[in-house]
Amino acid sequence: MELGSVVIALAGVAGTLGGALLTQRGLERAKRREIELVRGHEEIRESRSLRRTCYVELNREARQFTTALNRHLHVLRERGAEESDREALEEAKNAHRDRYSEAQMTASDEVLLRASVVNQALNTVYGQVKRLERGAPGRGETPETAARAQHEVWDMLRAMRTAMRHDLGVSQEG
């Protein structure tokens, strides 16, 4: 009888220890899943924050570059560009280039498509403005055609901003 009691006691102890071990392993798995879920949410939040910062800066610099092109066209018509005018335009162009480069690594495909359209348009207008400044305009390039092209960039900027807002979940329009 004593052997039977010992076996029953051992089975009870093994069952209790095994149950505790299984419970512990289950809790560890649940904790790991919870940690992974929290990390996933943090990564999503960080990604959105990074995109938001990128979009704010790209939008600002693209608008500044557009404004600088407009100012430069006015300067060319009124008095001719001086070194400080050229430097201001170059600074705006370089700042936009830097933000656009960041966006190429950060932006969603839709935003990058819109940003690319804006970038190409700005560079086209910039080329026209610089040729006009040098007194060597391309065929059909006049201060008026450059001003029209510069003005059209604003619609492209609005489309880019709408895509940015949609990507960030700020607007449902897309």
What whole-number distance in Å separates Cα of residue 40 and Cα of residue 52? 18
Q: Using 50, 70 and 90 to split pLDDT, how confident is the model at 152?
A: very high
What whole-number distance in Å separates Cα of residue 109 and Cα of residue 14? 58
DSSP string across 81-120: --HHHHHHHHHHHHHHHHHHHHHHHHS-HHHHHHHHHHHH
What whole-number distance in Å separates Cα of residue 13 and Cα of residue 122? 78
CB half-sphere exposure, 103, CA atoms < 13 A = 31
What whole-number distance in Å separates Cα of residue 118 and Cα of residue 97? 11
Name the DSSP class of 27: H
Instruction: Express each pLDDT in 74-123 by its tens digit.
Output: 998 888 888 999 999 999 999 999 999 999 999 999 999 999 999 999 99
